[in-house]
Amino acid sequence: MAHVILDSVRKTYPNGYKAVHGADFNISDGEFIVLVGPSGCGKSTLLRMIAGLEDVTDGEIIIGDTVVNDVDPARRDIAMVFQNYALYPHMTVRQNMAYGLKNQRMSKDAIAERITEAAKTLRLEEFLERKPGQLSGGQRQRVAMGRAIVRNPKVFLFDEPLSNLDAKLRTQLRAELKALHKRLSGTFVYVTHDQVEAMSLADRIIIMSAGQVEQIGTPMDLYLQPASRFVADFIGSPSMNMLQGTIGADGHTVDMGNESTLRFAAPIDAQPGTKVDVGIRPEHLQATSSSAAQFGLTVDFIEQLGADTVVHGKLTGQTDPLTLRLTGVHSIATGESFSLHSALENIHLFDSATGKRLN
Amino acid sequence: MADIQTNSAASTVRRPRSKPIRWGLIGNHAILITGSLFMLLPVLLAFFTSTHTDVTIHKEGVQFFFGSEGGSNYHDAMFKKGGFSQNVDGARMMVNSLILGLGFAVGKIIISMMAAYAIVYFRFRFGTFAFWIIFTTLLLPLEVRILPSYEVVQSLGMLNTYSGLIIPLIASATGTFFFRQFFRSVPEELLEAARIDGAGPFKFFVDILFPLSQTMIAAIFIIMFVFGWNQYLWPTLMTTDESMFTLVRGVKQIMQAWVGGGNDIPEYSGAMALAILAMAPPIAIVIFFQNWFVKGLTESDK
């Protein structure tokens, strides 16, 4: 097991496209790190650079105590699980798992022992002599994980391993992955575009956008204190409501336009008159009496999810969309209106121009 | 309640007793059967004719039924020494043809697979350009370059040798093209997984790519074997020694040379029998490999 350090790592493709603009972070030994972001944000490129499948344009990648920039993927002591499994279709499950070890010239007995152990961990014993084509998607992905486990690597790399599976299997394998991490206590680096996966798996999340690292933190850091409007919008489902506001003259208030004003205890870190985005999560809005109301909502339609009811509508008298999440079952008609209120500590302010957090 | 409803609904559904006769289907089959007969007929006639005596054929022409001489005609065609030198028989020519066909197919597969591997998996200067150069050689078939080719082989002293027969024709643009397309369809993650598993370029080729290409190899093997087996012009030019003759080339030679028992009747039956024998191995191979052939050209289990 080992830590991984990325020191101002950049990637520019030969055609001039800059995929990663400078990633700087440390992954400690045994940590479960999730790289998350929309497609094309550079997260996969970053992972592939750690794996050694892409050259590093600039900066250093350190695994354990070695700078691995010019080390062959096979010698980096890493294992990787791919989105489309990348199992060798003509080999049995056993041969698939053994291939890497055979290339390391490990003895047959030792290989067999490792495979037996991994197969037990992943409940693959009965499939060892089958070919990947005869397995379901979930089983294939478990084989791919098995191929990683038997190598006993310092670092496990996962490139969207659950994206090809259906929702139910995904949840199940997510739990298995989490258990696996606990058991192996290895360093895991996991790439996904699915924020639910990121939130449920990660010790720390690295959220990326357009080749930049937006924020690094625990899932709750990202949820409660998003560093930018991008992070706020990306984490959480349904995503955060963004309303328009202007900083008031005394630097403590935000003018919301339709006579309502939010007054914060601490001064806001921006010039009066600055346009701000006021972010409030749908689950942090509460229905209230009209006297305490900060916002009004006119209902367009609702989504009944059983455990929750998601109300979609517009800010009363305006066109800005507003979403409200209520626990339990509610029957709400289109056109109904709500008076809403949110605790000030659950309101996030972002500079409209830069997207940076202000409070 | 729900059950009763669905039952009553089902009982009102009309169920036709039998399928109507589909005339379109019958018409299609009629056309296909006629077409097959049309194509098979010459072969059948050659086969029937080959079972008669030379005299009968000479007098009555092509035969439409089995004759009595089948066994002895085929035996003579295979084992009776003939030709000017009286030292070549059908079996010898068949061996030559097999060597040419197999050498041709195996050699072409090896060369074109390696060429395609280099083009697809290695980033080198002018790689695509090299591919297109190879591809344009399709515009220069053997017939166009036959004199220079002959000159080269002759000056290397390879006339009347198997290597002289095979090697000059072994580079294959078609094979390279097929393998290139196939390799490009192999998911890149496989290569990456293999790299992480410590497989270098050679191991990846042997352990992963070669087994994956099996169906493709089978398909190209058939095409190339038949192509090699049916070569006529090149062997005619390359071989002057009768013991190096291939079947396809030998049929004509033998018909001219075998003059039976003092009279001047050409050995029609022997020639017909040899022609049938010359057709048999390619057909056998196609039948034997046809599953793989179709698989290789259409699907791929990756």
Question: How far apart, in whole angstroms, are the C-alpha atoms of residue A48 and residue B116?
Answer: 26
R_g (Cα) of chain A, nearest Å: 24
CA A77 to chain centre: 25
Between strands A32-36 and A187-192, the pairing is: parallel
Question: How far apart, in whole angstroms, are the C-alpha atoms of residue B165 and residue B99?
Answer: 10
Nearest CB to A86: which of B193, B214, B301?
B193
In total, how many domains does chain A have?
2
The residue extents of the domains of chain B are 90-298
Question: How far apart, in whole angstroms, are the C-alpha atoms of residue B284 and residue B260?
Answer: 31
- Over residues A331-356, the mean pLDDT reads 86
* The most confident of A268-277, A289-298, B192-201, B257-266, by mean pLDDT: B192-201
Identify whether residues A328 and A308 lie together within a single domain.
yes
Instruction: Please give the angle made by the CA atoms of B122, B128 and B132, to the nearest 5 degrees.
Output: 135
Task: Confirm or reject contact between A86 and chain B (CB < 8 A).
Answer: yes
User: B25: left (phi > 0), else alpha (psi -120 to 50), else beta?
Assistant: alpha
Kindly tell me if the per-residue pLDDT of B105 is higher than 60: yes
Q: Which CATH number applies to B90-298: 1.10.3720.10, 2.40.50.840, 1.20.1070.10, 1.10.645.10?
A: 1.10.3720.10
Task: Confirm or reject contact between B299 and chain A (CB < 8 A).
Answer: no
Kindly tell me if the per-residue pLDDT of B259 is higher than 80: no
C-alpha distances in Å from residue B160, one per residue of B86, B163, B244, B253, B266: 18, 9, 6, 16, 27
Element (H, E) at B27: helix B23-49
Identify whether residues A216 and A137 lie together within a single domain.
yes
Nearest CB to B190: which of A80, A83, A88?
A88
Terminal Cα-to-Cα distance of chain A (whole angstroms): 39
- Residue A269's pLDDT is 79
Residue B209, φ and ψ in degrees, nearest 5 = -70, -40
pTM: 0.80
What was the ipTM of the complex prediction? 0.82
Bridge partners for A310 per DSSP: A303, A325
Residue A155, φ and ψ in degrees, nearest 5 = -130, 135
Residue A241, SS3 per DSSP: strand
Share of chain B above pLDDT 70, in %: 88
Identify whether residues A223 and A294 lie together within a single domain.
no
Identify whether residues A113 and A161 lie together within a single domain.
yes
* The most confident of A30-34, A65-69, B31-35, B278-282, by mean pLDDT: B31-35
Host domain of residue A317: 240-351
Q: Tokens at residue B206, please?
A: 């042997």
> Which residues does chain B have within 8 Å of residue A86's beta carbon, measured at their own beta carbons?
187, 189-190, 192-193
- Residue B35's pLDDT is 95
C-alpha distances in Å from residue A247, one per residue of A242, A267, A271, A351: 15, 10, 7, 10
Single residue among A230, A263, A298 that ends a domain in this structure: A230
Supply the CATH number for residue A16's domain: 3.40.50.300
Closest CA to A148 of A58, A78, A61, A241: A78
Q: What is the pLDDT of residues A158-209, one digit of tens each?
A: 999 888 888 888 888 888 889 889 888 889 999 999 888 899 999 999 999 9
- Residue A47's pLDDT is 92
Identify whether residues A16 and A67 lie together within a single domain.
yes
Query: Which chain B residue's Cα is nearest to A73?
Result: B196
Share of chain B above pLDDT 90, in %: 22
Query: Which chain B residue's Cα is nearest to A99?
Result: B197
- Residue A93's pLDDT is 92
Q: What is the pLDDT of residues A223-249, one digit of tens each?
A: 999 999 999 999 888 889 888 888 887
Kindly tell me if the per-residue pLDDT of B295 is higher than 80: no
A1 pLDDT tier (thresholds 50, 70, 90): low
| Residue A238 burial (C-beta neighbours within 10 Å; 0-12, 13-18, 19+) | middle
Question: How far apart, in whole angstroms, are the C-alpha atoms of residue A183 and residue A119?
Answer: 14
Query: Which chain B residue's Cα is nearest to A53?
Result: B192
Q: What is the mean pLDDT of chain B?
A: 83
| Residue B17 burial (C-beta neighbours within 10 Å; 0-12, 13-18, 19+) | exposed
- Residue A287's pLDDT is 83
How many pairs of residues across A and B have Cβ atoms under 8 Å apart? 62
Between strands A275-280 and A347-351, the pairing is: antiparallel
Identify whether residues A195 and A341 lie together within a single domain.
no
The two counts, helices (H) then strands (E), for chain B are 16, 0
Kindly tell me if the per-residue pLDDT of B155 is higher than 50: yes
DSSP classification of residue B209: I
Closest CA to A69 of A154, A132, A10: A10
Do A82 and B195 count as a contact with CB atoms less than 8 A apart? Answer: no
Question: How far apart, in whole angstroms, are the C-alpha atoms of residue A269 and residue A352?
Answer: 13
The reply to whether A359 falls in a domain is no
Contact assessment for residue B97 and residue B253, using Cβ atoms and an 8 Å cutoff:
no
Supply the CATH number for residue A308's domain: 2.40.50.140
- Residue A99's pLDDT is 93
Query: Which chain B residue's Cα is nearest to A83?
Result: B189
> Which residues does chain B have within 8 Å of residue A83's beta carbon, measured at their own beta carbons?
189
Question: How far apart, in whole angstroms, are the C-alpha atoms of residue B225 and residue B234?
Answer: 15
Identify whether residues A216 and A259 lie together within a single domain.
no
- Residue B21's pLDDT is 80
The nearest CA of chain B is from the CA of A175 a distance in Å of 25
B101 or A262, which is more confident: B101
User: What is the identity of the amino acid at A187?
Assistant: T
Q: What is the number of other CB atoms lying within 10 angstroms of the CB of residue B112? A: 24
Q: What is the pLDDT of residues B166-187, one digit of tens each?
A: 888 888 888 999 899 999 989 8
Q: What is the mean pLDDT of chain A?
A: 88
Q: What is the pLDDT of residues A109-157, one digit of tens each?
A: 999 999 998 998 888 888 999 998 888 888 898 899 999 999 888 899 9
Contact assessment for residue B225 and residue B102, using Cβ atoms and an 8 Å cutoff:
yes
R_g (Cα) of chain B, nearest Å: 27
Nearest CB to B187: which of A86, A104, A147?
A86
Question: How far apart, in whole angstroms, are the C-alpha atoms of residue B101 and residue A352?
Answer: 74
A33 pLDDT tier (thresholds 50, 70, 90): very high
Q: What is the pLDDT of residues A39-91, one digit of tens each?
A: 888 888 999 999 999 889 988 999 988 898 888 888 888 999 998 889 998 89
A220 pLDDT tier (thresholds 50, 70, 90): very high
B3 pLDDT tier (thresholds 50, 70, 90): very low
Q: Tokens at residue A328, please?
A: 């339990």
Q: What is the pLDDT of residues B47-56, one digit of tens each?
A: 888 888 888 8
Helices (H), B186-267: 188-196, 201-203, 210-212, 214-229, 233-238, 247-257
Crossing angle of the two packed helices B268-298 and B90-121, in degrees rounded to 10: 20
Kindly tell me if the per-residue pLDDT of B1 is higher than 50: no
Between strands A155-159 and A78-81, the pairing is: parallel
Closest CA to A157 of A35, A282, A321, A318: A35
Contacts of B224 (CB under 8 A, 6+ apart): B104, B105, B108, B109, B172, B175
Kindly tell me if the per-residue pLDDT of B302 is higher than 50: no
Identify whether residues A122 and A53 lie together within a single domain.
yes
User: What is the identity of the amino acid at B156?
Assistant: L
